[in-house]
Amino acid sequence: MIETVVALLLFLNGNMIEHVYKADMASCEKSKKIAEQQVNLQTVVFVCKKIKAKIEIDEYRKEKKIVKVLDENVFTASGTGFFVSDEGHLITNNHVVKYCNLIQVNYQGKVSKAKILARDRANDLSLLETDIKPADKFDISNQDAKLLDDIYVAGFPFGQAVSSSVKATKGVVSALSGLQDNYSILQVDAALQPGNSGGPIINNRGNVVGVAVAKLDYKDSLESFGAIPENTNFGVKSSIVKNFTSAHNIKNPQQDSDKISTEAIGEKIQNATVYVGCWMKETKIAAMKSVETAFGTPRLAFDFVCYNSCKERNSDSFCQQTCSIK
């Protein structure tokens, strides 16, 4: 039979490996405290949670036991991706899909599953594989952008809360390095919002010169610099992206295309840019909400990229709990 019950869940290195039925939340919390005294709290997390589960009666103990947790996927965040091959390979940010149990992409009204083919954690890139045959794709520029080059940024700011259509903004390359002189990054003044993560930064030839990755946080900047930044946004340079795709056999033309019209760029954006949605198991989210500390050290804490990605579709309070931001 299926019931909603209280369970003590045990997670090892973020993966649920055991579940025990408890009569109520009070008894679960008591068992949790006892269990935590007997394990390494850096790798093991105990969580008390009401869950839906398949239940049987233990004939020996005459009590209920959990046979299987019916763990549901929960939508957690979204970002942007873009096709780099005719076979449906696409690029996005690693932080967009880093913790996903299920990745879905919305392309021209159709929802398809995607899986991670490769990651470049250092440069926050992921290569995804889909069964989509896109109407168009982006070529990666063979040359990094130059200062004051015109660029376009495409994506799904604020997910699909505003509308389901792709959005584009125009700007220029405003610096050839990122924070702390990171020369893998370029700076642009085109607007980036939550949801743009992983989207293409495109030149007037219709080639990708960067992948949108971050913007300066207003609150942090105000505290650090005493001013609110305007249009200070960043992308991973095309040379980094090209090395990543080439390492995984994604072919790229030897020469960049000629300059094309803004109308042609707009059509390419519509035909080669996708919405990326991230879904996680409910129990895993519960484990990551555990912000209790052992010996003063947070356990299973998310980092700031989780928080930024989460904020693309969720409230600030939810993301603080989910990502263990204190």
CA angle 183, 187, 191 (to 5 degrees): 155
* Confidence at residue 224, expressed as pLDDT on a 0 to 100 scale: 62
Which of 242, 277, 52 has the alpha carbon at shortest distance from 156? 277
Residue 222 has pLDDT above 90, yes or no: no
Question: Of the spans 37-46, 114-123, 249-258, 306-315, which averages the highest pLDDT?
Answer: 114-123
In the chain, beta strands by DSSP E: 2-12, 15-22, 44-58, 63-69, 73-83, 89-92, 102-107, 110-120, 125-129, 150-155, 167-175, 185-188, 200-202, 208-215, 233-237, 273-281, 293-294, 297-298
Alpha-carbon distance 7 to 3, whole Å?
A: 11
Summary mean pLDDT of the chain: 85
14 vs 224: CA distance, rounded Å: 34
| C-alpha 76: how far from chain center | 9
Q: How many domains is the chain built from?
A: 2
Do 54 and 87 fall into the same domain?
A: no
Residues 2 and 40 in one domain: yes
Res 216: pLDDT? 62
Tell me: do 47 and 106 sit in the same domain.
no
Domain that holds residue 213: 75-278
How far, in Å, are 32, 158, 171 from residue 232 at the CA level?
46, 18, 11
Evaluate whether residue 15 is within a structural domain.
Answer: yes
| 310 backbone dihedrals φ, ψ, rounded to 5° | -60, -40
Residue % of the chain over a pLDDT of 90: 55
pLDDT at 257: 82
pLDDT (mean) for 203-220: 83
Maximum average pLDDT range among 170-174, 284-288, 299-303? 170-174
> Between 255 and 300, where is the model more confident?
255
Question: For the segment 64-82, what is each residue's pLDDT rounded down to a tens digit?
Answer: 888 888 888 888 889 999 9
Q: Which residues pair with 52 in a beta bridge?
A: 4
Mean predicted confidence (pLDDT) in 106-117: 96
pLDDT at 318: 54
Residue 11 shares a structural domain with residue 108: no
pLDDT at 38: 85
Whole-prediction pTM: 0.76
DSSP string, 212-242: EEEE--HHHHHHHHSS--SS-EEEEEHHHHH
Write the Ramachandran bin of 232: left for phi over 0, alpha for psi from -120 to 50, otherwise beta: beta
Structure tokens belonging to residue 46: 């105990």
What CA–CA distance (Å, rounded) separates 47 from 17?
12
- Categorize the per-residue pLDDT at 29 as very low, low, confident or very high, splitting at 50, 70 and 90: very high
What pLDDT is stored for residue 315 in this prediction? 58
The reply to whether 138 and 265 lie within a common domain is yes
The pLDDT of residue 305 is 46
What is the pLDDT, as a whole number, of residue 223? 61
Residue 252 confidence (pLDDT) = 87
Q: Kindly tell me if the per-residue pLDDT of 42 is higher than 70.
A: no
Residue 172 pLDDT greater than 70, yes or no: yes
Same structural domain, 197 and 212: yes
Let me know if residue 316 belongs to a domain. no
Kindly state the tokens that stand for 252. 């790229």
Pick left, alpha or beta for residue 324 (phi over 0 → left; psi -120 to 50 → alpha; otherwise beta): left
The pLDDT of residue 141 is 96
Domain boundary, last residue among 51, 70, 89: 70
What was the pLDDT predicted at 200? 98
Q: Looking at the structure, do residues 264 and 187 belong to the same domain, yes or no?
A: yes
pLDDT band at 314 (very low <50, low <70, confident <90, very high): low
What's the confidence (pLDDT) of residue 116? 97
